[in-house]
Amino acid sequence: QVQLVESGGGLVQAGGSLRLSCVASGRTSSNYNMGWFRQAPGKEREFVAAIHWSGSTTYADSVKGRFTISRDNAKNTMYLQMNTLKPEDTAVYYCAADPSVRALRNRYEYHYWGQGTQVTVSS
């Protein structure tokens, strides 16, 4: 089992920045693929960014150039640096992990999920 705990959410004005963290515990491994997803009220959970165990990354078009995903395997922690935030980025942000994800953007392939952290961007 793997437990994931997100932190770093909050209220920020448009144009501001936040950094989310996701700490993994339990049967963790640097070979896990990890991702960030978000869900706004009344909407489906959507892909934001993901990082392969090799370090390669992929982003949703809506956040490309503004968000940066990274991981520190020594600390079992994944990060999401969010810059130039927009009101439409408001959502609950979830981290996810799985050792055998093939399609990093597909939320159904991730077995482990955190409880989520709220990000609210005011206009």
**What is the secondary structure of 58-110 as a DSSP string?**
EE-TTTTTTEEEEEEGGGTEEEEEE-S--GGG-EEEEEEEESS-SSTT-GGG-
> Average of pLDDT values for 85-108?
94
In this prediction, residue 29 carries a pLDDT of: 73
Tens of pLDDT, residue by residue over 24-83, are 998 877 788 999 999 999 999 999 999 998 899 999 999 999 999 999 999 999 999 999
In this prediction, residue 94 carries a pLDDT of: 98
CB 109 within 8 A of CB 101: yes
**Cα(93)–Cα(75) distance, rounded to whole angstroms?**
20
